[in-house]
Amino acid sequence: MEHGLLYIGLASLFGLFMAWGVGANDVANAMGTSVGSKALSIKQAIIIAAIFEFAGALLAGGQVTHTIRAKIVDPQVFLQNPQLLVYGMLAALLAAGVWLLIASYFAWPVSTTHSIVGAIIGFAIADVGFHAVYWHKVTGILASWVVTPFIAGVLAFLIFRSIQRLILEAEDPLYKAKHYLPIYVFVVAFIIVLVTLNKGLQHIGLALTTAFSYGAAFLLAVCAALLSFFLLRKVKPDPEKHREFHYVEVERVFGILMIFTACSMAFAHGSNDVANAIGPLAAIVHVVRSAGSVAAVSIIPLWVLLLGAVGIVLGLATYGYRVISTVGTRITQLTPSRGFAAELATASTVVLATGTGLPVSTTQTLVGAILGVGMARGIAALQLNVIGNIFLSWVITLPAGALLSIGFFYCLKLIFGA
């Protein structure tokens, strides 16, 4: 294919830019609540997230991926002119990267998946027409804007209310914590293992059955609960200490639990969402190297995975603090117990959505969970103007990605020729 090396070079540059946007905007999903509740400092969160995001993206980022993200566009329509698919994927990567840069600048937590999907829809409509898009998939994405945040919000509300009633509002919170925390440890360990198996390790060729995943999660969760039970037995509540001291100790335990949850979510996020950047890149590499062949799936070279992993870490380190601040501190005031409830609700919703095939944005799920925790304290605990800006950014993500992609697509056609 003419200009093949140039296409791969541009795709690598745009893919790195898109991965940078994923790191700058989306990593707040894993670390925002930990920073907001002061379980971790921003520097500690960035270091931990960098390690687990990089590991997830490189080790489990996928040996095989759909080149057309989420089957949004029919690849067969490009059989006659695969060069247009290359232009489209280049335009989609650049458009999604630009939109994530804009959103990160304004500290809006948006969906990186929806950004790239909107961009792919844009170039497909511009080149082929509306019939090239699988609109039923787009309808599912639109529905997820409402369904997944609502589910996560309800779960977070119920989880935090249970923590309040069973532990925090008790006369002796530390004593109650010794009884009830192993139950929460069991639940969070069960969900963490499921998230890791379903969203973190599903791409590396392990043929894990549903029964195995749930069985492994149950056994490891039982072990974690028993370990926490024996460790908590060593904690001797001092009846002479003020209740506030016991409350602080309980929050410290929830802070430790949050760190484990955040690490798991960062690994799963790196393995799953790196495809938003490297999926289109892999499609371009495949078309160029196969002299114009258009396939539904393509093998991802190791260097592409490494490029995606590096891009995510760079974005997190240079610009990630902005969205982390929004998620962690500007929606509602978080403590470790509130942040724990939000993270557990988010992970649970992700598992539920993965099992049912519901399109899910981890960003929107986490924001919904934080809103649920805030509602447990009353609507006055929420920053409604911040929430309004976040919702607006969600609504315009798909059309913004599409319009940017259309513009870049025509520019590339003008530069290289149709």
Angle formed by the axes of helices 82-105 and 275-289, to 10°?
A: 160
Using CA atoms, how far residue 200 sits from 25, 60, 62, 192, 336, in Å, is 19, 6, 9, 10, 25
Angle formed by the axes of helices 243-273 and 173-195, to 10°?
A: 0
The answer to whether 258 and 334 have CB atoms below 8 angstroms apart is no
| Parent domain of 131 | 4-416
Question: Could you read off the pLDDT of 290-308 as tens digits, one per residue?
Answer: 766 665 555 677 788 889 8
Question: Could you read off the pLDDT of 122-177 as tens digits, one per residue?
Answer: 988 888 888 888 887 788 777 877 888 999 999 999 999 999 999 988 888 888 88
> What is the three-class DSSP state of 81?
coil
Q: What's the pTM?
A: 0.84
What string of H, E and C letters represents the secondary structure of 252-274?
Answer: HHHHHHHHHHHHHHHHHHHHHHC
> What is the three-class DSSP state of 391?
helix
Which token pair is 113?
């998946």
- What total number of domains does the chain contain? 1
Q: What backbone phi and psi angles, to 5 degrees, belong to 26?
A: -90, -20
Average confidence score pLDDT of the chain? 83
Which one has a higher pLDDT value, 1 or 129?
129
Determine if residue 41 is left, alpha or beta; phi over 0 gives left, psi from -120 to 50 gives alpha, anything else beta: beta
Please tell me the chain's helix, strand, coil percentages from 3-state DSSP, rounded to the nearest 5: 80, 0, 20
